[in-house]
Amino acid sequence: MPELPDVTVYVESLAARIVGHRLLRLRVINPFVLRTALPPLTDVEGRLVEEVRRLGKRIIIATEGSLFVVVHLMIAGRLRWQDNAAKSGGRNVLAMLEFDDGALVLTEAGSKRRASIHLVRGHDALATFDMGGLEPLSASASDFSARLVRENHTLKRALTDPRNFSGIGNAYSDEILHRARLSPIALTQKLSAGEIGRLHDATQVVLREWTERLREQVGRGFPSKVTAFRPEMAVHGKFGQPCPVCGAPVQRIVYAENETNYCARCQTGGTILADRALSRLLKSSWPRSIDELG
């Protein structure tokens, strides 16, 4: 799922192309993608785009008259810009937003249709999409700490909860926790002040580093290789590969459709965290420490 750095670069690239231009037509190719019936799509046709911004992991296209197009890419949704709006192209295309200078194409890989578009009128309607999470890049250390410890959850869950922090998901939470040298299952209310400070610093540094890296990769183009798995990442998607800090093999916890990646030596004092499926299968053979793997 595109997270804060990816969505930020999407927003910047899109703003450079459509702010000050007119949205001529919002064309729905797959009816499932549109999650609102009112106002009708015709209401937004011909309106000037005033702003493009991020709200959590959503992209907001604001047009004159306080009409807002809200795009949520979910896991497999992606955006493509084309100068020619004539072709919709491809079975994965869900919708096209046609502007006077080109078209924004929303695609989604796979068979599950989770990406969505909402068209809403007014700031009150837009506010319903705000989950209330702090913006991690502007949160002070004290605000970050207060939000982190208001409930006692694992760090992984706390970082990825949109009611706590805006725009952080599975991939960048792994990178943040590795940078902070903290276990993904450490409980928020048992952290020391120093550990919370490290986490706050790591959150801002990692998100800023990745945003800048993605900006440099895109340049003046449009993001075309948006993925949660990047070769430069330290641990996310790197199961079995050496940690770039200590060289120990990266470990994982698999759950539902996600997995948490971490370095046992850097983050858990050498302890390999129990994976529900594998540890149950291996039972007494399950390794308890990173040294047992050697």
CATH level 3 topology of 4-127? N-terminal domain of MutM-like DNA repair proteins (3.20.190)
| C-alpha closest to that of 238 among 165, 174, 152, 180 | 174
Look at the chain and count its residues: 294
| C-alpha closest to that of 13 among 218, 280, 199 | 218
Q: What residue spans define the domains of the chain?
A: 4-127, 141-293
8-state DSSP, 250: P
What does each C-alpha distance from 244 to 175, 234, 236 come to in angstroms?
A: 12, 6, 12
The stretches of the chain forming alpha helices (DSSP H) are: 4-18, 123-127, 141-149, 155-160, 170-180, 193-218, 264-267, 276-282, 290-293
| C-alpha closest to that of 179 among 254, 251, 236, 237 | 236
8-state DSSP, 80: E
Q: How many CB atoms lie within 10 A of CB 18?
A: 23
Return the pLDDT at 282. 36
CA dist., res. 275 & res. 286, Å (int): 9
Question: Side chain identity at 12, as an amino acid letter?
Answer: E
Return the pLDDT at 288. 54
How distant is the alpha carbon of residue 128 from its chain centre? 19
CA dist., res. 52 & res. 90, Å (int): 26
pTM of the model: 0.92
Give the three-class secondary structure for 283.
helix
Give the three-class secondary structure for 212.
helix
CA angle at 167 for the pair 256 and 172, rounded to the nearest 5°? 60
Return the pLDDT at 254. 87
Return the pLDDT at 91. 80
What does each C-alpha distance from 260 to 89, 218, 238, 272, 289 come to in angstroms?
A: 35, 27, 10, 12, 17
CA dist., res. 153 & res. 155, Å (int): 6
Return the pLDDT at 280. 46
CATH level 3 topology of 141-293? Helicase, Ruva Protein; domain 3 (1.10.8)
What are the per-10-residue average pLDDT scores of the chain (294 residues)?
Answer: 96 98 96 96 97 98 98 95 74 94 93 91 97 97 97 96 96 98 97 98 98 96 92 96 96 85 96 66 43 48
